[in-house]
Structure 1
Amino acid sequence: MTTSNPVTSAPRAEGPVVRTATGPVRGLRENGLAVFRGIPFAEPPVGQLRFAAPRPATAWDGTRDAYAFGPPPPQDLGIQGRTGVLDAPEGDDWLTVNVWTPDPDPAARRPVMVWIYGGAYKLGHSGSPGYDAQRIARDGDVVVVTLNYRVGMEGFAQIEGAPANRGLLDQVAALEWVRENVTAFGGDPDRVTVFGESAGGGSVASLLAMPRARGLFRRAIAQSVPGTFFSLDLAEDIGRALAAEAGLRPTVADLAATDPRRLPDAGQALSAKMLQHLDRWGRIAPTVTPFSPVVDGDVLPTAPWQALASGSARDVELLVGHNRDEYRLFLVLGEMYGKITEEQATGALRLFAPGGEAGERAYRAAFPEASPTELYERVQTDWLFAMPSLRLAEAQTAGGGRAHLYELTWGAPGNGGILGACHGLDIPLLFGTFEADLANLLFAGAGVTPEAEALSSRFRTVWTSFATTGDPGWPAYDPEARSTQVLDTHPAVTAYPEEKTRQLWEGYEFTPSPLLG
């Protein structure tokens, strides 16, 4: 086993030292903040702990240097537009947290925001430059914690002899670490807000439905919640296919003997041929993402929409929303934008719209001027992100809780504005990281305009105000007024803007995807 954050005995006077439950850590002073990176919240999940639920980290002697991000979990880098090697340390300490705090004074009791990254449940790590949380912590006077969790086969494949949803269990373990340790960093463990985007938003939705996560956070922000949750039967079938790509059985005994850095190859191989399983996996097959939270009846007893509607999170305040043109990103990255045929549009409408052929007719009637590309994009934006996010707000309200809804309609200025308000645009706007990761594409050729900086500041004000008070600055969602914050150059509160789509999906239930045939 290798580690990236050695324990030292020679203190550095200039670095702040905080005592955690497992030992003291020394951070750095950066831009008016105290920053701590790569603190273990669990034991490395390798060897005997491979595919197991996370175990608490072992205490250390001396003071641990918390200067560098921990290594990312093994992951698939073959997603559209992203290939190559991560610029990140190597090692087995995948389960670490990072902390940005204005002042590590236990008496400060600032609000705490815990970030959960996205990445289709198969990639991502908290050390990505786009998740540098200094502007959120400084502008909002909050403590920000980011965490690593297992992705891909390590975290989400259904494996015989292993608990389901290990990636979600990692997130719970990190939140338990926050509850036990954040006071020492100047945070208030009674004012914790979890926030995440895409698979991170799906993770937040899952945590709202998980008994193990109850009481670990007071507020939740779910950005672009995916509607993809697997039934146990479907997850087991996909697990068998994943293991077969590696020439193994889907058991702990077989898979644990394989180098964890080799298993992402099996996920990439299956992603490339998922459409061959359309008759068994249905709508999941075109997503080329063989991982999602599994409604297993234990770790995740029910899907988030059913859980929230029954009141499981009525004591948690929720902020949830989506971007107007979510699916545009994938069309542009796949060089398909403007090239969708009528036949492809028909296939997508019949597969994803409620009611099959009737759904296709309904979409065409609602959007009579739409081109094949626009229809193809619209129905997949709706099915994958927009309607799941809207329905989460509706479910929370139905269950007796409070939810606030937003939609981002401001378009990315890069590449001639072709990307619109696409998936992932909210990340650089929220973090203010305009020269990292996806932002290079979103702002290419346009730079960061004053209106982008203004909207970015607005994002941080809303998110941190909600984390501090529970009030983002506009009325809570209700079935009559449907108040929605539209985030654009001139933000405004209106009735939910996508009314045609909302009506098309009225009565549709987001339930775990079944195994067909």
Structure 2
Amino acid sequence: MTTAEHREQASAPVVRTAAGAVRGSREDGLAVFRGIPFAAPPVGAARFQAPRPPVPWEGVREADAFGPPPPQEAGLLGPGGAAPSGDDWLTVNVWTPDPRPSATPRPVMVWIYGGAYKIGHSGSPGYDAQHLARAGDLVVVTLNYRVGIEGFARIDGAPANRGLLDQVAALEWVRDNIAAFGGDPGRVTVFGESAGAGSVAALLAVPSARGLFGRAVAQSVPGTYFSDELARDLAAAIAAEAGLRPTVADLATVDPRVLPEAGAALGEKMAARVDRWGRVAPTVTPFSPVVDGEVLPVTPWQALAAGAGRDVELLVGHNAQEYRLFVAMAGRLGKVTEDQATDALRMFGPGGGEAGERAYRTAFPQAGPGELYERVQSDWLFHMPSLRLAEAQAAGGGRAHVYELTWPAPALDGAFGACHGLDIPLLFGTYRADLGALLFGDAEVTEEARALSSFMRGAWTAFAGTGDPGWPAYDTERRLVQVLDARPEVRPYPEETSRRLWEDHDFPPLPLLGS
């Protein structure tokens, strides 16, 4: 080792966790630790089981590289070819201004990634948390959790919702260790987007997560929670793709890096099984949290309305044109036909069938097929579930702040609109990574974009520190929300027409319809 390398190692921060000491690195004024195990590798006898404590180590473990992603299908947020390999999927990463216990510990934000519950990992460049840690002078933690078959398939011999149990274990790690990194275990905010927001919403209803966080941010909550019957049927279909039964004994015979192929194969066939799987079939996503009665006893809306989140402060919202991302990625922008719009309205409209179609065509008489196709799926999948989470929180005696992002992504001359996922590069300031690379494209990152990005980081980190993002709590009289645009403003909820369409409709667990 050279003299320079000795000097660099001597200045690198070392923190002792419950399982052993870790050495991070100093990066532009922050101490950063990557790839710290919060649980043992979930392989061998531990495969498909609840997470187990990490194996302690001697000496100082180098924490300078992200842990390997959990096994998953390929995807935009999935691991690239340079991703590390190995079985230590369950790791956390920490960004902290000062990695020492403090008399005035900093607030902590814990990020849960999205990816349809089937892809994603905390090492994605789009989740680089340095800007958040600096903006809020706080500690940021990102975590890996099992996705797809490993994390969410409902199989015999395994607990349901293993991905959620991983998240609970990571939050327990934060509770037990974050003070050593300068964080306050009594001021933890969990935040996530898409499936990450669905996980946040679920954690509000998971009994074993109670007390592990006092604030929650849910960005674009998907309304898809599965009934136990639906989840078991989908798991049986996935296993059948591999010629197996939906049991631990059978599925454990397949390498975890190969098994995602069965989920991907089923996804390609799901759209043809509307008769059996209903609204979940067109989503081509056979994974979601399961309302199993134990890990997740009821839906998040039921739990919050009953007061489960009364002691948790909530920030929740969505983007104005959520579904446009999926329309664009399918090559359907400007190409949606009347028949396709009709099918979507009848599948996803409130009440379903002709009533669902009629409701939207009456409420939006000037809308063409493309707008109707996009709007009903934005509303069903993200808008209304997100708003209902705030309404359930208020009904249960808690407090919620609501936002809507309306600023359009700059790529393709704004054709993406304020689509799904745009909030990620804005919040993290990662305009050229992952979804940011798609939604910003080759467009200049303007001062307008940077100002909105700064506003969002300021609001999110202020909420993590104080519970107040800077605008009034939502109530069912004024319905005030923060509209995030070039000139952010507080005004009544912009999607009032859709809200009225859905106000008499619940979001129960998605059912199994039959053979």
SS in 2 for 1:12: helix
- How big is the shift at 1:147? 0.1
Contact between 1:204 and 1:222, CA under 8 Å: does it hold in 2?
yes
Structure 1 residue 83: Cα displacement: 8.0
* 1:442 and 2:439 are equivalent in the alignment: yes
Cα distance in 2 between the residues matched to 1:59 and 1:90: 21
How much has 1:82 moved relative to structure 2? Answer: 7.0
Specify the alignment match of 2:510 in structure 1: 513
Aligned equivalent of 1:371: 368
The answer as to whether partners of 1:415 and 1:441 remain within 8 angstroms in 2 is no
Q: Please, what is the CA RMSD of the aligned residues?
A: 1.3
**In structure 1, C-alpha distance between the alignment counterparts of 2:263 and 2:393, rounded to whole Å:** 34
2:86 maps to what in 1? 91
Out of 153, 157, 166, the position equivalent to 1:170 is 166
* Secondary structure class of the residue paired with 2:10: coil
Cα deviation, residue 383, structure 1:
0.3
**TM, length-normalised to structure 1:** 0.97
1:478 maps to 2:475: yes
SS at match of 2:339: helix
Task: Measure how far apart 1:58 and its partner are.
Answer: 1.2
Q: Is the 8 A contact 1:326 1:421 kept in 2?
A: yes
Question: Matches of 2:397 and 2:219 in 1, distance apart?
Answer: 21
TM-score, length basis structure 2: 0.97
* Map 1:359-398 → 2, pairs under 5 A: 359-398=356-395
What's 2:3 paired with? none
What is aligned with 1:329?
Answer: 325
Write the distance in 2 (CA, Å) between the matches of 1:116 and 1:447. Answer: 29
SS of the residue aligned with 1:13?
Answer: helix
Structure 2 vs 1, CA of residues 10 and 150 (structure 1 numbering), >3 Å: closer, same or farther? farther
1:11 touches 1:63 (CA, 8 Å); kept in 2?
A: no
Equivalent positions of 1:152-171 (< 5 A) are 152-171=148-167
Opposite residue 154 of structure 1, the aligned amino acid is E
Do structure 1's residue 343 and structure 2's residue 306 form an aligned pair? no
The one-character-per-residue Cα deviations of 1:328-367 (angstroms, maximum 9, x if unpaired) are 0001011011111101101100110112211211111111
Letter in 1 for 2:504: G
Letter in 2 for 1:401: G
1:135-178 Cα deviation digits (max 9, x unpaired): 00011101000000000000000000000000000000000000
What is the CA-CA distance between 1:84 and the residue it aligns to? 8.3
In the other structure, the counterpart of 1:5 is: none
Q: Give the 3-state SS of the residue equivalent to 2:308 in structure 1.
A: coil
Give 1:313 shift. 1.1
Q: Aligned pair in 2 of structure 1 residues 516, 485: CA closer, same or farther (>3 Å)?
A: same
Q: Distance in 2 between matches of 1:149 and 1:133?
A: 18
2:400 is matched with which residue: 387, 390, 403? 403
Is this contact kept in 2: 1:45–1:92, CA < 8 A?
yes
Could you report, residue by residue, the CA deviation over 1:7-31 in whole angstroms, capped at 9, with x for unpaired residues?
Answer: xx99920200001001110000001
Alignment of 1:253-268 (within 5 A): 253-268=249-264
Structure 1 residue 424: Cα displacement: 0.3
What SS does structure 2 have at the residue aligned with 1:195? strand
Q: Is the 8 A contact 2:148 2:260 kept in 1?
A: yes
The answer to whether residue 307 in structure 2 is matched with residue 311 in structure 1 is yes
Shift of 1:86: 4.0
**Matches for 1:252-291 after TM superposition, within 5 Å:** 252-291=248-287
Question: Any conservation in 1 of the 2:427–2:457 contact (CA below 8 Å)?
Answer: yes
2:288 to 287, 292, 301: 292
* Of 494, 499, 503, the match for 2:496: 499
Identity of aligned residues (%): 72
The amino acid of 1:150's aligned partner reads R
8 Å Cα contact 1:153/1:264 also seen in 2:
yes
Say which SS state the counterpart of residue 200 (structure 2) adopts: helix
- 1:456, CA displacement in angstroms? 0.4
1:283-313: CA deviation from partner (whole Å, max 9, x where unpaired): 0000000000000000000000001000011
Matched with 1:6 is: none
The letter for the 1-side match of 2:405 is L
Relative distance call for 1:12 and 1:200 in structure 2 (3 A) is same
Write the distance in 2 (CA, Å) between the matches of 1:26 and 1:423.
Answer: 37
- Structure-2 change in CA distance of 1:82 and 1:398 (3 Å): closer
Matched, 1:460 2:457: yes
Unaligned runs of 5+ in 2: 1-5
Whole-Å separation in 1 of the counterparts to 2:334 and 2:432: 27
SS in 1 for 2:295: coil
Q: What is aligned with 2:221? A: 225
Distance 1:282 1:401 in 2: 33
Aligned residue among 114, 118, 125 for 2:121: 125
2:487 is the counterpart of 1:490 = yes
Q: 1:171-196 CA deviation, whole Å, 9 max, x = no partner?
A: 00000000000000000000000000
Q: Classify the secondary structure of the residue corresponding to 1:362.
A: helix
Structure 2 residue corresponding to 1:192, chosen from 179, 188, 193: 188
Secondary structure of 2:9's match? coil
The residue identity in structure 2 corresponding to 1:167 is G
> Are residues 1:208 and 2:231 paired?
no
How far did residue 87 of structure 1 move? Answer: 2.7
How far off is 1:440 after superposition? 1.1
CA distance in 1, matches of 2:81, 2:197: 23
Q: 1:278 to 1:173 in 2, by over 3 A?
A: same
Q: What displacement does 1:85 show?
A: 4.2
Structure 2 letter corresponding to 1:98: N
Q: Report the number of matched residues.
A: 507
1:109 aligns with 2:89: no
Distance in 1 of aligned mates of 2:383 and 2:138: 29
Match of 1:17 among 2, 14, 17: 14
Amino acid corresponding to residue 365 of structure 2 in structure 1 = P
Moved more, 172-181 or 358-367: 358-367
Q: Which residue is 1:4 aligned to?
A: none
Q: How many Å apart are 1:445 and its aligned residue?
A: 2.8
Distance in 1 of aligned mates of 2:436 and 2:461: 22
Counterpart contact for 1:414–1:447, Cα < 8 Å: no
Q: Which moved more, 1:9-18 or 1:437-446?
A: 9-18
Contact 2:153–2:287 (8 Å) recurs in 1: yes
